[in-house]
């Protein structure tokens, strides 16, 4: 969601920098600029709409965190997302990176991509199979074309334990997760010779369809040398969680999950290999969601689902 917060005219330092940076894309250098703020978001994120120009940009201010994570290097985060966007814009559709400026609270400016998110299609149950097909193909392109020479398995487990730490589970539940994770660690299922670049925040709100084409948003937290199935598992957990919360049963998500994984896979063997490792990353996805529901009954469902996913290891 976004709402109008202000109108900037000539003389505003940030507005004037934007106009200068955009060059010939803005014809009337004296136009006013409407500002719309997005929420919720992990940082201050605003759309700047140039009146009479039919043109907008998005600015993300890394030095203005709005989530729980307040202490981090904002400059490095800004540069990292800018670099990630530059690295993949010839592979997949992303908002084109335009500029960054440390002095404006570490602002990263990208082109504005209009359209409806995958979250909208989920909520309205509109062409969900078709949208998931497009997202699956996009993720496959990203993973296939960014392969690296190794997979950093230990980082996934460290991140898993970090999420568990944040949940502050009771002793017996935490011990159960520790035991299950130990079995996955010593299993060979996750082992692979190569890693790839992953989105790492593969939630439906980060996929926007513009003229029927999916765009991936928010590459700040992307990883390299990662396991391709992490993006898939997070998306599948989000799908199941949505159906549990809004449709009465997570089981109703299974046809969509199967469809999504099938269209990601290049053949039947690839599909079966992926479905064997997906539970590990779906478990992580449920635990990530559980952080947002700690004071609700739904929290218990998410913890239970996360444990059941890990128990699927054979």
Alpha-carbon distances, residue 145 vs 96, 110, 224, 228 (angstroms): 19, 23, 12, 11
Per residue in 216-259, pLDDT (tens digit) is: 999 999 999 999 999 999 999 999 999 999 999 999 999 999 99
Percentage of the chain beyond pLDDT 70 is 99
pLDDT at 68 over 80: no
d(CA 54, CA 188): 53
- The average pLDDT across 269-287 equals 97
Residue 100 scores a pLDDT above 90? yes
| Rounded mean pLDDT, 169-186 | 97
180-208 pLDDT, tens digit per residue, is 999 999 999 999 999 999 999 999 999 99
More confident residue, 297 or 294: 297
Q: What whole-number distance in Å separates Cα of residue 67 and Cα of residue 44? A: 10
Go through the domains of the chain in sequence order and give each one's CATH number.
Answer: 2-111 (3.30.200), 116-311 (3.90.1200.10)
pLDDT value at residue 69: 65
**Over residues 116-133, mean pLDDT:** 96
Share of the chain above pLDDT 90, in %: 92
| Mean pLDDT across the chain | 95
pLDDT bucket at 314, cuts 50 / 70 / 90 = confident
């Amino acid at each position: 969601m976004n709402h109008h917060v202000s109108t900037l005219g000539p003389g505003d330092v940030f507005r004037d920098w934007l106009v200068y940076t955009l060059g010939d894309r803005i014809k009337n250098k004296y136009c006013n600029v409407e500002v719309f703020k997005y929420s919720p978001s992990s940082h201050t994120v605003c759309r700047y709409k140039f009146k009479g120009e039919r043109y907008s940009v998005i600015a993300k201010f890394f030095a203005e965190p709005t989530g729980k994570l307040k202490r981090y290097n904002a400059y490095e985060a800004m540069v990292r997302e800018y670099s990630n966007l530059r690295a993949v814009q010839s592979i997949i559709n992303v908002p084109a990176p335009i500029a960054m400026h440390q002095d404006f609270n570490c602002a990263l400016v990208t082109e504005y991509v209009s359209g409806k998110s995958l979250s909208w299609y989920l909520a309205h149950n509109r062409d969900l199979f078709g949208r998931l097909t497009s997202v699956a193909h996009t993720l496959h392109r990203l993973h296939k074309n960014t392969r690296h020479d190794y997979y950093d398995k230990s980082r996934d487990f460290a991140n898993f334990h970090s999420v568990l730490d944040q949940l502050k589970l009771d002793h017996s539940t935490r011990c159960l997760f520790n035991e299950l994770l130990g079995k996955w660690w010593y299993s060979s299922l996750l082992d692979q010779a190569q890693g790839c670049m992953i989105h790492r925040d593969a939630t439906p709100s980060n996929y926007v369809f513009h003229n029927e084409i999916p765009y991936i948003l928010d590459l700040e937290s992307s990883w390299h040398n990662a396991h391709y199935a992490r993006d898939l598992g997070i998306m599948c957990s989000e799908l199941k969680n949505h159906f549990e919360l809004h449709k009465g049963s997570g089981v109703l998500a299974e046809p969509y999950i199967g469809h999504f994984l099938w269209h990601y896979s290049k053949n039947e063997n690839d599909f079966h290999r992926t479905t064997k490792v997906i539970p590990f990353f779906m478990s992580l996805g449920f635990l990530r969601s559980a952080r947002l529901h700690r004071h609700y009954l739904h929290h218990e469902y998410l913890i239970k689902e996360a444990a059941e996913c890990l128990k699927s290891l054979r």
